[in-house]
Structure 1
């Protein structure tokens, strides 16, 4: 058995519903997926499948939009100097480029500024505003930032600078005293609240120009997808049309990004989410983000290529730094793996502040815990970092309950950034854990996978996958559909990748051939026994290679619902071959004495030596034992039957071997015994040492067989043995061979080896299954 990592929530309709509209020419599966997205009518389905620009709302409905537009136009007319103050992530960079481009188009004197993550931190800051004033700036427009800049708004007012804030982050208790705040969640008049920062900037651009800025769609799509806002309503329209625009964009920066990302053909949401977005983000994570904005604004192909290559190199460096910090944090946490807190807070001096959000995401994925990762500055005695969370724990709301611990704080339900005094780190850790312990149940710490439907191999076709693709672009609010491939035995399971960290399975049935790939799931390979039926959850996709197109599943999770047998019989390198099983859920069984080369087992697992303390099994928490490791062969079949039926484990590891197998030596038959006794009656005496080898050679027996027959006769008192000389007992009692303990022991040893050691894998699995089924039958009878 292999438990799934996540909770699975199958939402398949129990009874097929009526189609939305037969004229849509969509399969039942696609119509079911539409209904799950709240699409119930033909008109709604058409708009969802073909989003229209007419669905966008009037930008003038947004809070303070009229006031902001009038102030910008006044600044342009009076030739004032304007600053666009942005953020260093992909949303902020694309917002900055978009706003600068539209202002330049309108004839404004405009420059942009993005704070340095390391020296200035997140958001507007007083020093930057004072420098702007010294340069003659009279109007500052923030994009994707500013909603928490209360102090900075006061500074701007003091300096005589008008501050227009455009942002989409959650508003805190007190709003900045700015000239205007353009924000979809304020004022209550704007119909859609979930725009990205670049989406707000785009609406501002629309209001400023008076005409729809179609030429800016290739910029708005970058931040909209990279910032993980829900892709419905306006965001779906902007993403769908933005993907078309960026795919045919002649913007030099976009062309250069496609080149370094090795993107051919149309750009997809996955290209932005996993290739373009991370590269733009990498600049601000490691240095000033100015080159990323310059890349999107430049009109020079040569400059674009140079900037894109610089950004690509920074992204490679970022990946290396992330891996190093994540590994260091994991080592810190693995040392307390058996007692992880509900909320993880890790802090260390020297960690690169720019990548801590990515590290936090990795830790959330590995440990299924809300996570805060902080870097410590010993000079200022402060800690700065990022937080990522699980679905059940709203990081923004819970951190706001302990807002006093932070010097600076802002973010969303699933992500946040913060600065706090170093002395508050432990207090913060305790406070958040108290909140989590009050609010969360054990099941909340497992990721939830919402599964749309169960499918069979026959259901997974190219045409089905192409039709499902009509629901794209996928993302937050419109997740890529997940499907469950029911229990199926793979024809092949193997690890792939240079580090063998990915898992590949191949399934074949009724002429259907399907590959499944699980990135980062290579560690599960030794946990899947041969011939085990697996259940897989994943996304359907098409693999295109050398002109051939083939359906495949990108695995998100898997499980094995039946018990498993791992056959390591005869293996002389067990310490390397055995996976590291959870200590609290594993037990290693010795029926006899452990040998020196088995000493390693005592370091890894709880051990029971039945020859020393056979009653110990009864003291184990049997309901918690999932893995049983059999280290040697039992003395009898009844002995192992008792162990199996007592424990009924989920997984059995057969790790025993024998160097002196009775099975390989022929057990003498009754005819052998009869002939030997007749020979003694004729000869009257027989010397084992001198005549035994000759007899064995003459009869084609082994020497061990001759000795075994002799000792059985001795035990039954048929003969006497004196210094190796056999003589008949003149008055033997009539006894059967089965009355000899030696004969029974050899016979039992033969049976043990035949059943447990020299059997085939299917035979051994069937025998263990029979023993566990007997336990199930007894439990059913009792209940």
Structure 2
């Protein structure tokens, strides 16, 4: 058995509907399976999804307050009132600020921008920056990607005499700010049909309304912010990202060229993964470690040298950020392990003095990935007696709503169901922890704390072709709300497996199903090579990619998880060096069993774990997942009795035999006859003294001669007098097979044939027959 790391939830799309989609839409069966698994029921629905048009963009004036916003902004432009765009320090906030700045500048506005410093101002609106703006002559503030939770700060701005327009997409609280206008797609009572815009999507809507036409030249900015902020890639977000990626591939932006240069991305290959894993982290890095304004400057500059200079700075900041994240993550994991925070359904809350608040969200994400618990990571400021941090969540724990229940002790917070930020007095930390643990126990079950992987597409291997994989790009972009498909191949053979990489920590396999073969790679899964027994049928989940080498294209599965429910037999017979097979065994799940005391003595030098006598295993009821059978029993029934006791999922068969007799066999009757005649002629024979000469003369081993001598002794053909073998008088006619030594040797040879020298498949069948007895339902068992 190989246990999967996650719970697999496999969608089984309707075959008839899949075939209809395949035929009517002229798409490979793999694509059709994905669409049906994702809930598409009609050709029209699927066709609309595959062929997005400008009609997918909703009218911006469906957003409540948009007409008032247009009137107020144009009035400010006409009067040359100074406008401030107030953004946020992440990639969504930076692109939102850029969209608004480009739009207002194109309209001739007197406009500046400010982005809070997370170390000085924290998240959201800042009284310090609002005062600064007022002093610089600002009459109108437009927030982008923030503001909905800045009640006190926006009240302050209003008290100074400035007008405030809030554009945001974050979860609104029970009370809204006293802004002049609020543009938010998710407010209660709104008529806007799509509530899942990113902050940059809302800014784009404002730009559309202000200019009177779709600002298509800004699609690339919307794509970056939308992907980076992990909002749903459905509806018009999907269209924005599709168009934005195409725009970036045309290399019409100095910022994109510079980002691609420093991150090693080919412009022609840009996709949602390039943006999410290469561009996004670099744009985010400046705001995580200091001032975020260079991110906006990168997108506003029209000088190539300046763009590349800023991109290089972002790249260096990202490297610095990575090092800080690793350090804090390591410290957080050490705290969690030491304090046993994971006992029962819980929220992880960890904090430390001087942890950089700019990277705590990333650390929280890594903790969620490692432990699958909601995680809050806090930077402690002892001087100010404040705790400031970020939260990431899992399905079933609505982070924003759960934080909102604690508004009396965490006065400043904001976010989404899956992510949030907060600042609160340090004296409330223990109370905050206790409340969250109680809340978690109310809404999270033990089952919910085991991660689930949703598998869209169970495939037959013959369906996996390079053409099918290439066609999957028709379904892109993938992301939140329309995740990249997870593919499943069930119960296939592993034709070959080997460890690869300098540290041998990766695995490469060739999978086989009927006549189809498929390459598979598992990064960081090198241990799998030791866990796959011959003939095992395994199920895999993962991503499908195309491996191109020397012009040859081949499909390839990137393994994410693997399992088999079948028990496995590992054949380590004949490997005399213990250090060659011992590392293959997961010691914490295994017990070593011996049938002979001498075996325990022999192996105790090499094996530091306890070696159990088979009788002790049964009498003391020792259970384990795996068992290693170190030696052969004296009798087959002893092994049968052990196997009846427990149903091990893995059996490692070593079957060490110090004095194997299989290849010597039992001497023939002619050999016995010759030896008897030899003794009869001499009457007496000094066996111990002359056995070497006899062995040399006959070509028989000394073991064979001793064995025949013992058989004669047991049958009373000879006796031993003063060390001499003496032939007895008056011999009774007795069959050789009546001698106990003869019977024992015959039994041992038969056992060695079945267990020690049988081919793998015969040995597997031998165990299968005995394990089958274990699985017979009790009502079907026959008791004698």
Deviation, structure 1 residue 221:
0.5
In structure 2, the residue corresponding to 1:681 is in which secondary structure?
Answer: helix
**CA distance in structure 2 between the partners assigned to 1:302 and 1:380 by the alignment:** 42
Moved more, 56-65 or 389-398: 389-398
1: distance between equivalents of 2:695 and 2:594? 36
1:124 counterpart residue number: 125
1:656–1:103: structure 2 CA closer, same or farther, 3 Å change rule? farther
Alignment of structure 1 residues 127-526 onto 2, 5 Å? 127-186=128-187, 187-264=189-266, 265-333=268-336, 340-343=343-346, 344-422=348-426, 424-508=428-512, 512-526=516-530
Structure 2 equivalent of residue 643 of structure 1 = 642
SS at match of 1:449: strand
Moved more, 381-390 or 592-601: 592-601
CA distance in 2, matches of 1:464, 1:201: 38
Give SS of 2:231's match. coil
CA contact (8 A) 1:505 1:516 kept: yes
Supply the distance in 1 between the matched residues of 2:248 and 2:478 (Cα, whole angstroms): 16
1:541–1:731 distance in 2 versus 1, CA, 3 Å: same
| Equivalence map 1:579-728=2 (5 Å) | 581=586, 583=588, 586-593=590-597, 594-595=600-601, 598=604, 608-610=612-614, 612=616, 614-616=618-620, 619-620=621-622, 625-655=624-654, 657-663=656-662, 665-722=664-721, 724-728=723-727
Separation in structure 1 between the aligned mates of residue 341 and residue 660 of structure 2, nearest angstrom: 41
- The CA deviation string for residues 631-682 of structure 1, in whole angstroms up to 9 with x for no partner, is 4443332222222232121112235544544445555445444433332232
Task: Give unpaired runs (5+ residues) of structure 1.
Answer: none
**1:46 and 2:51 aligned:** no
Aligned residues of 2:22 and 2:28 also touching (Cα < 8 A): no
Change (3 A) 1:501 1:382: farther
Q: Is the 8 A contact 1:457 1:512 kept in 2?
A: yes
Deviation at 1:200, TM superposition (A): 0.6
The 1:672–1:477 alpha-carbon spacing in structure 2 relative to 1, beyond 3 Å, is: same
Segment of structure 1 superposing worse, 126-135 or 572-581:
572-581
What's the counterpart of residue 94 of structure 1?
95
Name the stretch that deviates more: 233-242 or 734-743: 734-743
Deviation at residue 64 of structure 1 after TM alignment = 2.5
Q: 1:693 to 1:225 in 2, by over 3 A?
A: same
Number of matched residues?
775
**SS of the residue 1:124 aligns to:** coil
1:59–1:207 contact (8 Å) kept in structure 2: yes
Q: Which residue of 2 aligns with 1:534?
A: 538
Residues of 2 paired with 1:300 and 1:385: CA distance? 37
Deviations 1:440-491 (A, max 9, x none): 3333223323333322221112332233321221222222233321211122
1:557-604 deviation digits (Å, cap 9, x = unpaired): 221232112333435344984357484x5433233343475478665x
Distance 2:432 2:587 in 1: 30
C-alpha contact (below 8 Å) 2:29/2:463 kept by paired residues: no
By how many angstroms is 1:216 displaced?
0.7
What is aligned with 1:757?
A: 756
Residues 13 and 36 of structure 2 are in contact (CA less than 8 Å); yes or no, is this contact kept in structure 1? Answer: no
Other-structure match for 2:16 = 16
CA distance in 1, matches of 2:120, 2:631: 63
8 Å CA contact 1:21, 1:41 repeated in 2: no
How far 1:337 sits from its partner (Å)? 8.0
Give 1:170 shift: 0.7
Q: Single out whichever of 81-90 and 351-360 deviates more from structure 2.
A: 351-360
Structure-2 residue corresponding to 1:547: 551
SS of 1:504's partner is strand
Name the structure 1 match of 2:2.
Answer: 2
More deviation, 200-209/680-689: 680-689
User: Taking structure 1 as reference, are residues 715 and 329 closer, same or farther at Cα in structure 2, changes over 3 Å only?
Assistant: farther
- Root-mean-square deviation (CA), in Å? 3.1
Q: Structure 1 residues 146, 577: closer, same or farther in 2, change over 3 A?
A: farther
Question: SS of the counterpart of 1:417?
Answer: strand
Match of 2:577 among 567, 572, 579: 572
Distance in structure 2 (CA, Å) of the matches to 1:749 and 1:330:
54
The 10-residue stretch of structure 1 (116-125 or 374-383) with the greater mean CA deviation from structure 2: 374-383
- Stretch of structure 1 that moved more, 420-429 or 217-226: 420-429
Equivalent pair of 2:145/2:200 in contact (CA under 8 Å): yes
Displacement of 1:87: 1.9
Tell me, in whole angstroms, the C-alpha distance in 2 between the residues paired with 1:339 and 1:675.
76
Q: For 2:745 and 2:4, how far apart are their aligned partners in 1?
A: 44
Greater Cα shift, 139-148 or 737-746 = 737-746
- Alpha-carbon deviation of 1:168? 0.7
CA deviations 1:208-257 (Å, max 9, x no partner) are: 22221111111110011121211111111211112212221421111111
Seen in structure 2, the aligned counterparts of structure 1 residues 402 and 511 have a Cα distance that, compared at 3 Å, is same
Mean Cα displacement is larger for which, 648-657 or 1-10? 648-657
SS of the residue corresponding to residue 277 of structure 1 reads helix
Go from structure 1 to structure 2 and tell me whether the alpha carbon gap of 1:671 and 1:149 turns closer, same or farther (over 3 Å shift): farther
Structure 2 gap ranges (5+): none
Q: Tell me which moved more, 625-634 or 274-283.
A: 625-634
Secondary structure of the structure 2 residue equivalent to 1:491: strand
Instruction: Give secondary structure in 2 for the equivalent of 1:16.
Output: helix
Q: Is 1:110 matched up with 2:111?
A: yes
- Bigger Cα displacement from structure 2, 328-337 vs 239-248: 328-337
Question: Where does residue 72 of structure 1 map in the other structure?
Answer: 73
TM-score (norm 2): 0.90
Q: Does the 8 A contact of 2:200 with 2:225 survive in 1? A: yes
Which is further off, 705-714 or 240-249?
705-714
Taking the aligned partners of 1:324 and 1:639, their CA distance within structure 2 comes to 54
Counterpart-to-counterpart distance in 2, 1:328 and 1:746: 62
